[in-house]
């Protein structure tokens, strides 16, 4: 965000020059998020199946408070919900990492874009909550 010469020195990256550090961090974030979500869904789903729950039974709707309670009670459905939340939150976390990375380098334009993407996701959350 800085317009100082020092800020410009880091932010005035010529076109075509890739910040491998930022892209590498984001790649690791995506990988870790994906692995965590797969493990949570696999363990939770397998536990549900072993417990006799069938997928075509009437399922509960998402409730964040209930998810926390299920997790504290070590109920498998809590793991499945958490896995779904991690799946859906990982891309947003990637954008947040981009926001921090670009802002740190003084790239106001890209930082603003990342912030706006997060804002649109926020609108999606509000849209979902209003229709719930």
Partner 1 sequence: MDVGLLMLAGGFVAGLFGSLLGLGGGILIVPLLTIGFGLPVREAVGVSLVSVVMTSGASAAVFLQRDVANLRLGMFLELFTAAGAVIGGAVAFAIDQRYLAAMFAILMLYVAWTMIQGARRPAAAASPPTEIEPASHDAEASLGDDEPGTAGPSVDEPLGGTAATPAAMTAVTPPAMTAGSPVPPAEPTFVARLSRPGYRVGRVRLGSFISIFAGIISALLGVGGGIVKVPIMHLIMGVPLRVATATSNLMIGITASTSAIVYLLRGGIDPYVAGPTAVGVFLGATLGSRTAHRVDLRVLRLLFVAVLLYTAYEMTRLAIGLP
Give the nearest distance from C-beta 2 to partner 1 in angstroms.
13
Q: How far is the CB of 38 from partner 1 (least distance, A)?
A: 6
What is the SS3 assignment for 4-72? CHHHHHHHCCCCCCCCHHHHHHHHHHHHHHHHHHHHHHHHHHHHHHHCCCCCCCCCCCCCHHHHHHHHH
Contacting positions for partner 1 (CB under 8 A): 8, 12-16, 18, 20, 22-24, 26-28, 30-31, 33-34, 37-38, 41-42, 44-45, 48-49, 53-57, 59-62, 77, 80-81, 83-84, 87-92, 94-95, 98, 107, 109-110, 113-114, 116-117, 120-121, 123-125, 127-129, 131-132
Residue whose tokens read 């958490």: 82
Closer residue to partner 1, CB minimum distance, 18 or 73: 18
Q: Report, in Å, the least distance between residue 82 CB and partner 1.
A: 10
Check residue 97 and give left, alpha or beta (phi > 0: left; psi -120 to 50: alpha).
alpha
């Amino acid at each position: 965000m800085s317009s100082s010469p020092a800020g410009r020195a880091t932010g005035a990256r010529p076109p075509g020059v890739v910040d491998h550090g930022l892209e590498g961090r984001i790649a690791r974030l995506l990988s870790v998020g994906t692995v965590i979500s797969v493990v949570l869904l696999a363990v939770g789903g397998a536990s549900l199946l072993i417990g006799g729950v069938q997928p075509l039974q009437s399922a509960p709707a998402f409730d964040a408070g209930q998810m926390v309670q299920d997790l504290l009670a070590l109920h498998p459905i809590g793991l499945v919900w958490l896995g779904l939340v991690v799946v859906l939150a990982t891309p947003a976390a990637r954008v947040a990492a981009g926001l921090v990375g670009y802002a740190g380098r003084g790239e106001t334009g890209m930082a603003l874009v990342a912030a706006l993407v997060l804002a649109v996701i926020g609108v999606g959350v509000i849209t979902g909550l209003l229709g719930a």
